[in-house]
A and B are shown apart, each in its own frame.
Chain A
Amino acid sequence: MTRALDCTAEAAAYQRDWAKGLRARLAAGEPYAFANADTPMEVFHALGMPVVVNQWWSSVIAAKKLSAAHLAASEAAGFHGRLAKYSALPLFAAMDGRPEMQPWGGLPAPGLLCARASADDHPLIFAEWARLTGAPLRILSAPGHPDPAPDWWDMLRDGWEKGTGGDRLDLMVAEIEDLTALAEEVAGRRTPDGALAGLMARIDRQERLFDEAAQMIAEAPRCPIRISEMIPNVMIPQWHRGSDWALAHAERFRDAVAARIAEGAAVVEDEQVRMMWIGAGLWFDTGFYQAFEALGAVFAWSMYLPFAADGYLRTDHGDPMRALAARVIDLNEHLHQPPWAGAWHVKEALRARIDLAVIIVPESDRPSGYGTRFIARALEQAGVKTVTIEADMVDARAWDGDKARALVMDGIERARKER
């Protein structure tokens, strides 16, 4: 059994301090942006404007076991139970209004709101936010790629102009410029000259470090750290991507992983079955990821670490704004939509020598649930066993942990027989 990495605690401590500082800044009345995770939050980072990410805040609410109360209140208010939860829980919490039922006693009204129209319901969710808070709202377009190449990950690192399409990039650049102008107006200051370029360069370095860490973990004889450690070590720096701390932490993490591998460390000594978790985290039951280690089965992969490289590395070619547009233009779509998602997960499964893929299918978050059967089919065709679990990332009410564990154990047995 491996001991926890020191940098995991450091990341958690940094996030706690940052959250404390953010809370103080918000309490002091500093305007902040409330934005979806697939928006160009580099705009806010370059400006030095605080940003609260919708899905991060959703996971905080869920982790504090507050989601059931807010979801029940939303249904009492007339929102039916099939509406998206992961992206709507913060709104429901804000509408609920009870400070004692919310992290930090609830968020103050944001200075601005931002989402992409990457899901049909996101503009409506954010319109409710705007109605509730009076904050100005920017919805960024999400025109579809007409001819997506399945193997997007290498091409987009450098050749994104051709790979994403000039028309869509022109539009996204204009919308990011408009968002920047709004953020500057709300903050009452201009983005310092060169700030975005500097930020993008540091993000590039950060993601290359995560790329190295992902490659090392994939190639290690046995999985050296749990995904419950991978996730905070990549996601906390990703929320702060391009900051000096994030860059330094990515390096610490990469080095810690290298050291662990050099020591011959393994999450499971007698590693027999390597598993990947496909989809967003199961935030209310993260212990699920360790539940199969006694059987010799380890979750060796989740999307967060490898996607830091493949989803974010975009050479700026002297135009950081356009490179940023290229990063966000299909950001979430790469993870969920065919043909991108299936091909990428197969590439990753083969790299990490995965035996069994466990796919979360959130029926009430359809943009995340869509495409999961294509992913499963692609993996099966590549020789990877699959298990699908119907669950929501933040709604524990319908979660049947025993059933889910039984499904995974059955998958482990199937994978074991194949080895």
Chain B
Amino acid sequence: MSASVLLFGHGVPLSDPVLAGLAVRDITRLFQEPAPGSRIDALLEPFLDPYVRGFLLGMEARAFDEAAAIVVWRQGAGALHAYRYATELRRQGLLPAGPPLHLWNRAVSAGPAAQVFDARQDAQLTQALARLPRETPVDRAGPLAVLEAMQAAAQITGGEAFRRRLRARACGEPVSTAPVQAPASDRTAGPRFALAGAPLGGRELHAWLDRQGALVLDLQGPDAPRDDVGDLLTRRRVSVLVWQVDPNDDLHGWRKPALLRLCAKMGIRFVDLGFLSPWPQRPDLPKVLR
């Protein structure tokens, strides 16, 4: 990872003008096991956000050392704690030095003061990255829209679409829109799924759904469409919404009852898989969707 700007935080806007033309990579959903003899693992609570854990263990494993900077997007769930823990572990000498960490804040309010604050934050980030070369910005939005349309039309499996989105973010490239060769008939025969809940890092749940129908709307994924959920469910003719959260979730579960009500109103079946690892394995899932 040479001269890249690494970004941590769900929803970090890779196409923000502040980052335009930089080699950026999103490291939010990376999985990282603790190294043998980890000096920091014992300080990480068992209920720590799994992506924050992965980020910190990645720092310990020096997985990000080649980067020019690591930017933490404050608005991402758990991101402030990722920044706090990382800076403190470095201060205590428990994490190696490595690329500079930068906290990228945002106001949650609207109005002139919020705009001024955000502009100052952007200016500080621009200054922090001033020495890095910039090239012609890549178009991310266009290919993402194409991939979204492919998924809506069941022209690509949910697992493959998710893999492409994750890869595009992790590599800092536009998402691939190459056509897939797999026959569409298998996928269009079963139910049309939407997947929602906590962000996933692994694709096993997607593969499991792909075997039973067509995953036409992935609301947990990076770059999920931001349109009104009811409109999306209608337009994509979703028949089953599948819900899951990670075992220590304290955030996404707040959205479930509203989604449950919406599905009930729309006549969409709501299936709650309950607590599921962000990197689910086949034994974590039932044989078939009931």
Contacts and interface: CB of A to CB of B under 8 A. Distances in A.
Q: Do A and B come from one complex?
A: yes
Interface of A: 77-80, 82-84, 117, 120-121, 123-125, 127-128, 131, 138-144, 146-148, 167-168, 170-171, 173-175, 178, 337-339, 361, 363-366, 369-374, 377
A366 B47 contact: yes
Nearest to B260: A78
15 contacts: A79-B256, A83-B254, A141-B114, A144-B83, A167-B117, A167-B121, A168-B117, A171-B113, A171-B114, A171-B117, A174-B109, A338-B85, A366-B47, A370-B45, A374-B85
Contacts of B83: 144
Contacts, number: 132
B248 A363 contact: yes
Classify chain B: how many residues form its interface, as a range: 35 or more
Contact of A120 (B78, B121, B255): B78
Contacts of B78: 120
Contact of B250 (A83, A142, A170): A83
B157 to A, nearest CB: 29
A120 B47 contact: no
A125 B260 CA distance: 17
A339 B113 contact: no
B43 A373 contact: yes
A78 B256 contact: yes
Contacts of A339: 87-88, 91
Contacts of A125: 254
Given A77-B257, A79-B256, A363-B248, A171 B84 contact: no
Given A83-B254, A144-B105, A337-B81, 5 more contacts: A128-B254, A131-B258, A141-B117, A143-B121, A366-B250
A82 B254 contact: no
B108 interface: yes
B253 A175 contact: no
A369 B257 contact: no
Nearest to A166: B120
B109 A139 contact: yes
A141 B110 CA distance: 10
Contacts of B108: 117, 123, 139-142
B266 interface: no
Contacts of B260: 78
B74 A124 contact: no
B116 A170 contact: yes
Given A79-B253, A121-B254, A171-B117, A370 B48 contact: yes
Contacts of A146: 102-103, 105
